[in-house]
Amino acid sequence: MGEIVFTGGSVFDGTGGPAFPGEVVVRGDRIAAVRPGHSLAPGDEDATVIDCSGSTVMPGLVEGHAHLTFPSAVGHLEPGFNPPVDVSFFQRPPSAHEHLALAERNARILLDAGFTSAYSAGSLTPGNVEVQLRDAIASGKVPGPRLRAASFERDNNPVRHGAENITPTGLRRFIAEQAALGFDAVKLLLSNDDVFVPGGSMQTQYTAEEAAAAGAAAREAGVWLNCHAQNPESIKLAVRNGFRSVYHCSYADEEALDLLEEHRDELFTAPAVGIMWANVHEAHEFGIDHATAERMGSVAQLEAQIALYPEMRRRGIRVLPGGDYGFPQTPIGRNARDLQLFVDLFGYTPAEALVAATKRGGEVMDMADELGVLAPGFLADVLVVHGDPTQNIALLQDAANLTVIMQGGNLHKRTR
Ligand SMILES: [Zn+2]
């Protein structure tokens, strides 16, 4: 039959119900059965049996705000990509070919960390490197998380884009161009950020007319809109114009929260709290001391997010872990740490954090009916984690605990 049976462990299926002693049966690229108990059924003798004693079988993780074209990954730190402290990376930018190779390396590292899917929050450079990466992964040429690709981040800054481009017409053209390049989503910096400009997080960079034009152009071109949105006005522009991913939201006010809640079945947020945490607590060695973290807005943003996201959770707004990995202080491959921060800072239970990274991940990938939970007919993205991450979410951060990583029925990793 060519079946693979995960037996002997406990099953966390991604829906949020408690883990239970059970088996998961995989046939081809799909899950054939999920069942309680540990008795291999008759006929399973031909199957490949994977002993999961002492382990938890769960869905593959989904990174909700990926930047696979950012240069730093575990074991490959790039100190020159660390704004505003050091941006020397851009003095010798990689060629498109080099950039694709770098992104392919990052994709493999993210898959090795248990992330079998990733939703991009934007490309670092213009061009279509991320589209090529997505297609290479999809065709099986390159190991990596299945990817939804997002465009270069458009910031509506006349210095960077030329004044003639920052009109509704220029914006429509940009979105049509990115769609033609093959991107699934287009990323706009609806607000600026303190990292780029002092006080930037409170600057809205697009008018209501432009945001409406973006919404219309995206619908016409068949792409999703993602945005960087820190201040209340930018969040409201995003929600009112059909943006699907509204990132950060650190300074959401009551009206913005109400809007997010009202549209919670149509959109996702992701705080990208890992970078804020790292900037405030862990980035001394990369030149970010407390005063610098303050100047970058990280201290205030972290504080604001710690106050805000428990309320997002309470309101049932879909909050995704992950985000802004790819800096030296947040190298790609460390992404599972976000789940711990959801537990430690935002009041999520470990099981809720796991649901955010699995079931909600399937939803943001627009594959809710076949990805993100362990259920018959779903894609066989399966992790075997030594121990019980529903009790100890930190287990996911040590790749040695990930004894099996399966993606679409393919055994990417199996530790014997
Ligand atoms: Zn980002």
Which pLDDT does position 41 carry in this prediction? 63
Q: Compute the chain's Rg from CA coordinates.
A: 21
* Cα-based torsion angle of the residue sequence 95, 98, 102, 108 in order, rounded to the nearest 10 degrees: 140
pTM of the model: 0.96
Q: What is the mean pLDDT of residues 183-201?
A: 93
Q: Tokens 């950060």 appear where?
A: 248
Q: Is the pLDDT of residue 416 over 90?
A: no
Distance 325 CA to ligand 1 centre (A): 8
Distance 313 CA to ligand 1 centre (A): 21
Q: What percent of the chain has pLDDT over 90?
A: 91
Q: Is the pLDDT of residue 1 over 70?
A: no
Contact 380, 409 (CB under 8 A): yes
Distance 173 CA to ligand 1 centre (A): 23
Instruction: Give the number of other CB atoms < 10 A from CB of residue 250.
Output: 28
Distance 189 CA to ligand 1 centre (A): 10
Distance 163 CA to ligand 1 centre (A): 25
365-412 per-position pLDDT tens digit: 999 999 999 999 999 999 999 999 999 999 999 999 999 999 999 999
| Helical (H) or strand (E) element with 306 | helix 298-314
Which pLDDT does position 407 carry in this prediction? 98
Distance 153 CA to ligand 1 centre (A): 9
168-182 per-position pLDDT tens digit: 888 999 999 999 999
In this prediction, residue 42 has a pLDDT band, given cuts at 50, 70 and 90, of: low
Contact 142, 192 (CB under 8 A): no
d(CA 347, CA 256): 21
Distance 110 CA to ligand 1 centre (A): 16
Contact 7, 57 (CB under 8 A): no
Per-domain residue ranges for the chain? 4-59+370-414, 61-335
Phi, psi for 203 (deg, rounded to 5)? -95, 120
Q: Is the pLDDT of residue 44 over 70?
A: no
In this prediction, residue 2 has a pLDDT band, given cuts at 50, 70 and 90, of: confident
d(CA 64, CA 321): 6
Which pLDDT does position 154 carry in this prediction? 87
Contact 171, 217 (CB under 8 A): yes
Contact 5, 47 (CB under 8 A): yes
Distance 121 CA to ligand 1 centre (A): 6
* CA distances (Å), origin 10, targets 15, 222, 339: 14, 41, 20
CATH number of 61-335: 3.20.20.140
Distance 369 CA to ligand 1 centre (A): 27
Q: Is the pLDDT of residue 86 over 60?
A: yes
Record: fold of 4-59+370-414:
Urease, subunit C; domain 1 (2.30.40)
* Cα-based torsion angle of the residue sequence 80, 82, 88, 94 in order, rounded to the nearest 10 degrees: 70
Contact 23, 10 (CB under 8 A): no
Contact 230, 202 (CB under 8 A): yes
d(CA 363, CA 361): 5
Q: Is the pLDDT of residue 165 over 90?
A: no
Q: Which residues surround ligand 1, an ion (CB under 5 A)?
A: 121, 324
* Cα-based torsion angle of the residue sequence 127, 128, 129, 130 in order, rounded to the nearest 10 degrees: 130
Instruction: Give the number of other CB atoms < 10 A from CB of residue 198.
Output: 12
- Residue closest to 253 by CA, chosen among 331, 297, 308: 308
Q: What is the mean pLDDT of the chain?
A: 95
Spell out the residues 6+ positions from residue 56 whose beta carbon is closer than 8 angstroms to its own.
Answer: 9, 10, 11, 12, 19, 384, 385, 387, 388, 389, 390
Contact 383, 402 (CB under 8 A): yes
